[in-house]
A and B are shown apart, each in its own frame.
Chain A
Amino acid sequence: MLEIKNLTKSFNRIDRKTKKKSNVGIFDISFKAQPGKIFGLIGANGAGKTTTMRIVANLTYPHQGDIFLNEKNYKEIPNLKMLISFVSGETQIYDRLTAYETINLFGEFAGIEKVTLKKRVDELTEKLGMQDFINDIASSFSTGMKQKVSIARALVTDPKVLIFDEVTNGLDIFASKAVKDQIKQLKAEGKIILYSTHIMPDADELCDDVAILHKGKILDEGNVEELKKKYTQKSIEGIFFKLVEPLLQGENNI
Chain B
Amino acid sequence: MNKKFWYLFKKELLTIIRDKKSFTSFIILSLLLNPLLIGGLSLLQDAQKNQIEKDQTIIAIKNETNNINIVDAITNDKKINPDVTIINSNNYQDDLEKQKIKGYIDLTQIGDIIKATYVFDQTSNLSQGSGGKIQSIINKYLANINSTLLASKGLTTNSLESIKFDQISLQQLENKPAQNGVLLLLLPYFILVGLIQGASQFAIELTSGEKERNTLATTLSLNASRVTIGLAKVFTILLISLLSLTLNVGSLIITTRLFPNYFGASSGSGVSIDMATVGQIFLIMLPLSFLISSLLILLGTYARNAKEGSLYLLPLLLGSVFIGFSGQVFDANSPIFVFIIPLVGQIALIKQVLTGTFILQNYLISALSTIVLFFVILTVTIKMFSREEVIFRQ
Contact = CB atoms under 8 A, between A and B. Distances in A.
B222 A105 contact: yes
Nearest to A106: B222
Interface of A: 11, 54, 57, 59-61, 79, 81-82, 85-86, 88, 90-97, 101, 105-106, 108-111, 137, 157
Interface string B215-247: 101101111100000000000000000000000
Given A61-B388, A94-B215, A137-B18, A81 B11 contact: no
A88 B392 CA distance: 14
A79 B225 CA distance: 10
Contacts of B223: 79, 81-82, 109-111, 157
7 contacts: A11-B389, A57-B221, A60-B388, A61-B388, A79-B223, A90-B217, A97-B11
A82 B4 CA distance: 14
B221 A81 contact: yes
A90 B214 contact: yes
A91 B388 contact: no
Contact of A59 (B14, B214, B220): B220
B7 A92 contact: no
A91 B215 contact: yes
B6 to A, nearest CB: 10
In the A-B complex, the 4 residue pairs with the smallest Cβ-Cβ separation, listed nearest first, are: A96-B18, A81-B223, A109-B223, A92-B214
Which size class do B's interface residues fall under?
A: 20 to 34
A148 to B, nearest CB: 15
B218 A109 contact: no
Nearest to B10: A105
A105 B10 CA distance: 10
Contacts of B11: 94, 97, 101, 105
B13 to A, nearest CB: 10
A109 B220 CA distance: 12
Contacts of A94: 11, 15, 215, 218
Interface in B338-394: 388-389, 392
A137 B19 CA distance: 11
Nearest to B213: A92
A interface, by DSSP: helix, strand, loop or mixed?
loop
Interface string B42-63: 0000000000000000000000
B264 to A, nearest CB: 45
Given A85-B221, A101-B11, 16 more contacts: A11-B389, A57-B221, A79-B223, A86-B217, A91-B215, A91-B218, A92-B213, A94-B215, A95-B213, A96-B18, A96-B19, A101-B14, A108-B3, A109-B4, A110-B223, A111-B223
A82 B277 CA distance: 50
Nearest to B17: A96
A110 B7 CA distance: 11
Contacts of B15: 94, 96-97
A157 B14 CA distance: 23
Contact of B215 (A11, A54, A59, A92): A92
A60 to B, nearest CB: 5
Nearest to B205: A96
Contact of B7 (A61, A85, A96, A109): A109
A108 B8 CA distance: 10
Contacts of B222: 81, 105-106, 109
Contacts of A54: 217
A231 to B, nearest CB: 34
Nearest to A89: B214
B221 A108 contact: no
Interface centre among A11, A57, A59, A85 (most CB of B within 10 A): A59
B215 A86 contact: no
A187 B91 CA distance: 100
A57 B215 CA distance: 15
Contacts of B218: 91-94
A14 B221 CA distance: 29
B221 A86 contact: yes
A122 to B, nearest CB: 20
Nearest to B221: A86
A93 B216 CA distance: 9
Contacts of A110: 223
A149 B223 CA distance: 18
B226 to A, nearest CB: 10
A60 B224 CA distance: 14
Nearest to A111: B223
A97 B7 CA distance: 13
B77 to A, nearest CB: 75
Contacts of B3: 108
Nearest to A97: B14
A156 to B, nearest CB: 11
